Amino acid sequence: MRPGSFGAMAELRVFPLACVVQNYAWGKLARDSEVARLLASSEPILRIELDKPYAELWMGTHPKGDSLILDNRISQKTLGQWIAENPGCLGSKVKEIFNGQLPFLFKVLSVNTALSIQAHPNKELAVKLHAQYPEHYPDANHKPEMAIALTNFDGLCGFRPVEEIVAFLQKVPEFRALIGNVAAEQLERSVADDPRGVSAALRICFTRMMKSEKKVCAEQLNLLVKRITQKAALGEDTSASCGDLLLKLHSQFPGDIGCFAVYFLNLVKMEPGDCMFLGANEPHAYLHGDCIECMACSDNTVRAGLTPKFIDVLTLCEMLNYTPAPPSSKLLIPTQSRLDPCVTIYDPPIPDFAVMKIQIPSTVKLYLVSAIDSASILLVLKGAAVGTSTAATSEMVLRPGTVLFISANESVSLRLSVPEGMLLFRACCLL
């Protein structure tokens, strides 16, 4: 090695990434998928298969999708390998607190059919599950996550206000039959007389549903679907039974116990820019739409329904947060940066990650992606620019789908090359 050549290599602290795409069956087909659009734009020579679902784009160092480094002057092939050898790039606090690991996984999701009803364990439970069942729980980390809508986006999240659940028990006889009268009456009584008993009564009701016999569930679901279908055919209103959503989920997962979860969980409807935060033990299922997602670097999922995958009913019913709350309580309100009018910050109540939305107006031709004391991953959603940095030895072309890794305390100057401005998202760790 020539003297000084390491110095030249060490200066490469900002570089483009090629990221892993997951073609899960629930993803949108190519022509409607934001994931496919970004992939086609960033890698024009890549052939997009129109009949294939493009579900998730993974940006980060997770072993199931470690991003590739697109700079042949860097000897390491993946971002995970590079960070392991250059942990200082994380920023001093991040490096110390997260043991030299990038603490977040950044994603784009394009959801066509419902994902499984699921929850993610807290740290303590994750360690236990991973030790006991590593084939189902691949790591020992918690997985809080945050979804920022790119299109209209629907999801189920958290237990509904208990009055709504009681109303369904009274108006949907098939739901009540599945729960049983004793558990249903206990929940009804707790609303009136015993607010502290609500969570316990809710746990009993949900557990009764999840543990109901397959045959009983199928019978009641068939009766319910038949009744709602007949009412809809007569032009009658089926909203008191969540008719439209129930029929939609049943068409995607016929006979699945998860269809009844619409009576327990809030339907959260988001518009572009809205954000939902999902803490540990929060039951949820994404239903439809495109979003940016950021999470702790984990793939631990405890599933409850709407899935052909392994369902761990016991663990799920034990771990859930049975606190009823309205859908608005699941939304995270972003804050405007005091330093930069183009930046909106989505900062959840956990240390592992935050996301900045950078909206550069068409009047701005030069923009500085500022240095922060954390490694970050920058994704271009709209617009184009040429990027330069003292930590990158050559110019970088940015267009929709471009992903850059930016080491801590490095900045990137953008010279916008199209008149319509830019939209970027940047995942980082704001300790």
Write the DSSP assignment of 321-383 as a string of letters.
Answer: ------GGGGBPPPEE-SS-TTEEEE--SSSS-EEEEEEE-TT--EEEE---SS-EEEEEEE-
> Looking at 13, 37, 176, 303, which residue is catalytic?
303
- The 3-state DSSP class for residue 281 equals coil
Residue pair 364/423 in contact (Cβ under 8 Å)? The answer is: no
In DSSP terms, 425 is beta-bridged to 357, 379
Q: How far apart are CA 121 and CA 132, in angstroms?
A: 14
Q: Measured in Å, how far apart are the chain's first and last C-alpha atoms?
A: 38
H or E element, residue 266: strand 265-270
**Which residues contact residue 102 at a Cβ distance below 8 angstroms, ignoring those fewer than 6 apart?**
60, 61, 79, 80, 83, 90, 297, 375
What is the rounded CA–CA span in Å between residue 238 and residue 181?
23
Q: Read out DSSP for 211-232? A: TS-HHHHHHHHHHHHHHHHHHH
Residues, the chain: 431
303 has catalytic annotation: yes
Just list the catalytic residues.
303
